[in-house]
A and B are shown apart, each in its own frame.
Chain A
Amino acid sequence: MKVEAENKVDTSTQPKTGADLFVESLIKEGVDTLFGYPGGAVLPIYDALYKAQKSLNHVLSRHEQGSIHAAEGYARVSGKPGVVIATSGPGATNLVTGIADAMMDSLPLVIFTGQVARNVIGTDAFQEADVIGITTPITKHNYQVQSLSDLPKIIKEAFHIASTGRKGPVLVDIPKDISASLFEEVNDTDFHLPGYQPTTKPNPLQIKKLADALAKAKKPVLLAGAGVLHGGASTELKTFIEKHSLPITTTLLGLGSYPGEAELSLGMAGMHGTYAANTALYECDLLINIGARFDDRLTGNLAHFAPWATVAHIDIDPAEIGKNIETHIPIVADSKEALKALLSNTEESPDHQEWLTELKRFKQDYPLWYNNPKNEISPQWLIEAIHKVTKGDAIVTTDVGQHQMWAAQYYTFTKPDRWVTSGGLGTMGFGFPAAIGAQIAAPDETVVAIVGDGGFQMTLQELSILQEKGLPVKVIIVNNQALGMVRQWQESFYEKRYSESLLTTQPDFVKLAESYEIRGMKIDNQEDLIHALPEVFSYDGPVLLDCRVRKEENVYPMIAPGKGLNQMIGVKP
């Protein structure tokens, strides 16, 4: 009898709620994965998700920050918007770091937050926060849904805004009474956004100007930023570079846009960039920037940045052009469109053989270098070892700090979209959850989270996701028992007063991993590491490797704060 009774409950005839409409809208947008955490104001939404388990894979984090960083990793690797759900008040405020991070690094996210019911908004109700007010400066756009009939249209707009133009996070705040209410009629979902019309095609006159400048240049250099990756323009970039034999450097976030081991690649530029890259930026007479925003960690002191160069800047965001650096040839366009136009409009290559020879000599004479005592593990050596075992083909995520710079310097990428790091905001605790999102986006790829012992402790609770979802993420802790970059700056600029930067009290990371039923290993010498690494990467499941490295190692070369590209310290003698 009971069975019969259950059979009578046919969900399709149950009246639909706002939450059901929400789920339908997501499926229409092609969403299959959600990163989230339930709570009071999103109970109706989670009820609808329960019914839609077959079509939507919900990844439950253990802190909302974990959800959003995972969504960022997912977005960076898949190119699709990462979708996040959190409840009102604390759920939403816990997302703030990730939203700001995605805004700085132009990652497409669509974030849904629950809100208290409309009739109590503004009364300091339980778990109420002004999420729209809080997130306005750190989102590309945000919405509070005022009426259920607008919900499908808002969701459509949100996905459009997040994933077009300069990508970024869009937040939709949904009051609980809206997701709970029954709906009858939906407004038209066609939208028109007269204030949002990104320019994607370059102006032909500006392209011509750049072609002319290129033909005349004696010392050209190309700087590739994340815009090349966001625009999916790596193939076009490679063709363009090879067509004119242009030396190329990348920003931190642009790594992988051009094969790092190629002859024309100068490596990464900036504060911890290579001598060849920084010197090229300093001495060049034509600088072609595609999709980089001339961040201060790249440029150093502006007075010493490309002082003799004609600067061409290609960017999809017009506000980035001329923001930090005076630009002579501004081109507002999508990186792919601009490169296509350049490929078909640049006949003449520059005459720059001498410049290439000079740069080649810089590369040979002043490569990256480090101390490598055999009885310890130098962190740089560790990264090189990881590179070797993974054949340079893994998806690598990091936090911020020393380990991030070493990974950027020594893990040479040959393919695009394999490097997931927190560049602009510099967020500790980003790398590990981002690796989870990356692994979900690319289930068949090797994903390694290279994290510091400090950053990992900020989001390590997400080990639960690895356990729950059986994701084979490899976590390698570059453990120097310190906030390494803070310690390095205290050593260099604060006379070795190591104020609160030494993390000598730590959990036993191996036991920690094991408590989540994850394989844990601890290694402190080169020989063991050489044996362990192939095992780590061939193991069919997640592994956490606590790798004890030389504590006193610093990141070099370096442009000290306030100094210019031509004032590097720590270059190979």
Chain B
Amino acid sequence: MKRIIAATVQNRSGVLNRVTGLLQKRQFNIESISVGRTETEGVSRMTFVVEVADNQKLEQLMKQLNKQVDVLKVSDITDKAIVARELALIKVMSNGQVRNEIQGMIEPFRASVIDISKDSLTVQVTGKTDKIEALIDLLRPYGIKELARTGLTAFLRGHQPQVTELAPYSLLK
């Protein structure tokens, strides 16, 4: 099962290596990882999307992360009310003929063209993982020359509904 794990860590040298090394040592599969600074100086935030076999493995993952001295807090936010976004840059083959066609196609995704050359254009899209995947699928027939994704970054919404209000819906299911 796919889980979104958010961790705040001390921004010290080697902390990324510590965390990814740990996941590798314990045989966890990282699908994506994104890291960046937070509102607090010296604290970074990591968001992982990991594939784990079951709850027991998930618990191990969280505990092992928590054990690291530089890791401040770890939470599995998969089933919480969250905002989650990923950014993708997609370089698509295009000549003058299909350019407009692509422009029209990406509009509903609120994606934008950020670079154009003689035979390609680059689309920037932001959103949840499934939205980005849908757009990539749509663009694939034109020929994708290059693709770069940031990986998911996420945190909890300002208001968390009570447990009873939560629909049995998960972003990544």
**Which residues does A use to contact B, with CB under 8 Å?**
132-133, 136-137, 140-142, 144, 146, 161, 193-196, 317-319, 322-323, 326
Is A161 touching B69 in the complex (CB atoms < 8 A)? yes
Is A133 touching B63 in the complex (CB atoms < 8 A)? no
Shortest CB-to-CB span from B38 to chain A, Å, is: 14
Bound together, the chains give a CA A196 to CA B18 distance in angstroms of 15
Interface segment, one of B9-17, B87-95, B118-126, B148-156: B9-17
Band of interface residues on B: 20 to 34
Is A318 touching B69 in the complex (CB atoms < 8 A)? no
Chain A's closest residue to B65 (CB) is A319
Collect the chain B residues with CB atoms within 8 Å of residue A144's CB.
13-14
Is A195 touching B60 in the complex (CB atoms < 8 A)? no
Is B67 touching A322 in the complex (CB atoms < 8 A)? no
Given A137-B22, A319-B67; 8 other pairs, CB 8 A cutoff: A132-B14, A140-B69, A161-B69, A196-B69, A318-B63, A322-B59, A322-B60, A326-B56
Known contacts A132-B14, A136-B14, A319-B60: A195-B70 contact under CB 8 Å: yes
Collect the chain A residues with CB atoms within 8 Å of residue B10's CB.
194-195
Bound together, the chains give a CA A193 to CA B72 distance in angstroms of 9
Known contacts A195-B10, A319-B67: A136-B21 contact under CB 8 Å: yes
In the A-B complex, list the 5 residue pairs whose CB atoms are closest, starting with the nearest. Answer: A319-B63, A141-B69, A196-B69, A195-B72, A195-B71
Collect the chain B residues with CB atoms within 8 Å of residue A323's CB.
60
Is B68 touching A195 in the complex (CB atoms < 8 A)? yes
Collect the chain A residues with CB atoms within 8 Å of residue B63's CB.
318-319
Shortest CB-to-CB span from B128 to chain A, Å, is: 30
Collect the chain A residues with CB atoms within 8 Å of residue B18's CB.
136
Q: Mark B110-130, 1 if CB is under 8 A from A, else 0.
A: 000000000000000000000
Partner of B64, one of A132, A141, A193, A319: A319
Is B69 touching A137 in the complex (CB atoms < 8 A)? no
Bound together, the chains give a CA A132 to CA B21 distance in angstroms of 12
22 examples of A-B residue contacts, CB within 8 angstroms: A136-B14, A136-B21, A140-B69, A141-B69, A141-B70, A142-B14, A144-B13, A144-B14, A194-B72, A195-B10, A195-B68, A195-B69, A195-B70, A195-B71, A196-B69, A317-B67, A318-B67, A319-B66, A322-B59, A322-B60, A323-B60, A326-B56
Chain A's closest residue to B25 (CB) is A137
Collect the chain A residues with CB atoms within 8 Å of residue B9's CB.
195
Main secondary structure of the interface of B (DSSP, over half): helix
Shortest CB-to-CB span from B132 to chain A, Å, is: 33
**Which residues does B use to contact A, with CB under 8 Å?**
9-10, 13-14, 17-18, 21-22, 25, 56, 59-60, 63-64, 66-72
Is A137 touching B14 in the complex (CB atoms < 8 A)? no
Bound together, the chains give a CA A323 to CA B64 distance in angstroms of 10
Bound together, the chains give a CA A319 to CA B10 distance in angstroms of 21
Is A137 touching B60 in the complex (CB atoms < 8 A)? no
Collect the chain A residues with CB atoms within 8 Å of residue B59's CB.
322
Collect the chain B residues with CB atoms within 8 Å of residue A326's CB.
56
Collect the chain A residues with CB atoms within 8 Å of residue B17's CB.
133, 136
Chain A's closest residue to B43 (CB) is A194
Chain B's closest residue to A317 (CB) is B67
Shortest CB-to-CB span from A311 to chain B, Å, is: 14
Is A193 touching B69 in the complex (CB atoms < 8 A)? yes
Is B21 touching A318 in the complex (CB atoms < 8 A)? no
Collect the chain A residues with CB atoms within 8 Å of residue B67's CB.
317-319
Chain A's closest residue to B14 (CB) is A132
Shortest CB-to-CB span from B82 to chain A, Å, is: 23
Collect the chain B residues with CB atoms within 8 Å of residue A136's CB.
14, 17-18, 21
Bound together, the chains give a CA A256 to CA B14 distance in angstroms of 39
Collect the chain B residues with CB atoms within 8 Å of residue A193's CB.
69
Chain A's closest residue to B55 (CB) is A322
Collect the chain B residues with CB atoms within 8 Å of residue A161's CB.
69
Collect the chain A residues with CB atoms within 8 Å of residue B66's CB.
318-319
Chain B's closest residue to A321 (CB) is B63
Collect the chain B residues with CB atoms within 8 Å of residue A322's CB.
56, 59-60
Chain B's closest residue to A144 (CB) is B13
Shortest CB-to-CB span from A156 to chain B, Å, is: 14
Most buried by B among A136, A144, A319: A319
Bound together, the chains give a CA A144 to CA B67 distance in angstroms of 20
Chain B's closest residue to A140 (CB) is B69
Bound together, the chains give a CA A136 to CA B70 distance in angstroms of 12
Shortest CB-to-CB span from B50 to chain A, Å, is: 16
Collect the chain B residues with CB atoms within 8 Å of residue A194's CB.
10, 72
Shortest CB-to-CB span from A263 to chain B, Å, is: 38
Chain B's closest residue to A157 (CB) is B69
Collect the chain A residues with CB atoms within 8 Å of residue B70's CB.
141, 195
Bound together, the chains give a CA A300 to CA B25 distance in angstroms of 22
Collect the chain A residues with CB atoms within 8 Å of residue B64's CB.
319
Collect the chain B residues with CB atoms within 8 Å of residue A317's CB.
67
Collect the chain A residues with CB atoms within 8 Å of residue B71's CB.
195
Chain B's closest residue to A146 (CB) is B13
